Amino acid sequence: MTPIASALPDLAFELAPVGLLVTRDRVIERCNRAFADMFGYTRQQLLGHTTEMLYPSHAEYEDIGARGVRAMLAAGIYRDERIMLHRNGEMFWCAVSGQPVDPEQPYACAVWAFEDLRVRRPLGMALTPREREISALILAGRTSKQIAKDLMLSPRTVETYRLRLMRKLEVKTVGELVSRMLALPAVP
């Protein structure tokens, strides 16, 4: 094997156009430059720390973590779009995919890919942690009943949050809500 061929796996990891991360029990073991840049840290500042520092709140870290475990145990992979926290305090939309090395122990060791969605989906308003959770699930195409089940809430509570989001964004339909959250132009 040539020196270049043997270096390809490391080069692919380091030069990937998306953020790549390896965690053990949700502690950052390895990340590429794109990941560190996305969150405004150096790699050295991230290594050895839990991923909690990248979430807007402790509750979101716990809730998303619990959903991730359930999904990885059921399907062997977890994907979502969520709001994450930059080092400077700015929140931004991020697409996340993760896969455990051992499907029976999802967080023992997992590989993650993060795509920064700031350009396509700017976050132009302040949302509460619950509004962030519900908006992410609405964008994932989940119904109020499905969201209620996922978050262990009543469907009525989810509807209340959906209406609050609609008022904040000054829209009248769920379609307009989704378009506004995706930062798409309104359709006449």
Amino acid present at 94: C
Complete DSSP assignment for 67-87: HHHHHHHHHS-EEEEEEEE-T
Give pLDDT, residue 124: 63
Q: Which of 103, 101, 91 is CA-nearest to residue 131?
A: 91
Measure the CA dihedral 24/133/146/69, to 10°. Answer: 10
Question: Any bridge partners for residue 28, and if so which?
Answer: 23
Q: Specify the 3-state DSSP secondary structure of 86.
A: coil
CATH, range 1-122: 3.30.450.20
The per-residue pLDDT for range 61-104, each reduced to its tens digit, is 998 999 899 999 999 999 998 889 999 988 888 999 999 999 99
Q: Tell me, what's the pLDDT at 3? A: 55
Question: What's the pLDDT at 57?
Answer: 87
- CATH architecture of the domain 124-188 equals Orthogonal Bundle (1.10)
- Distance separating alpha carbons of residues 115 and 39, to the nearest angstrom: 11
Which stretches of the chain score pLDDT less than 70?
1-9, 122-125, 182-188
Torsion, Cα 161 165 171 174, to 10 degrees, reads -50
What is the model's pLDDT at position 186?
44
pTM above 0.95, yes or no: no
Helices 129-139 & 174-181, crossing angle to 10 degrees? 100
Domain boundaries, the chain: 1-122, 124-188
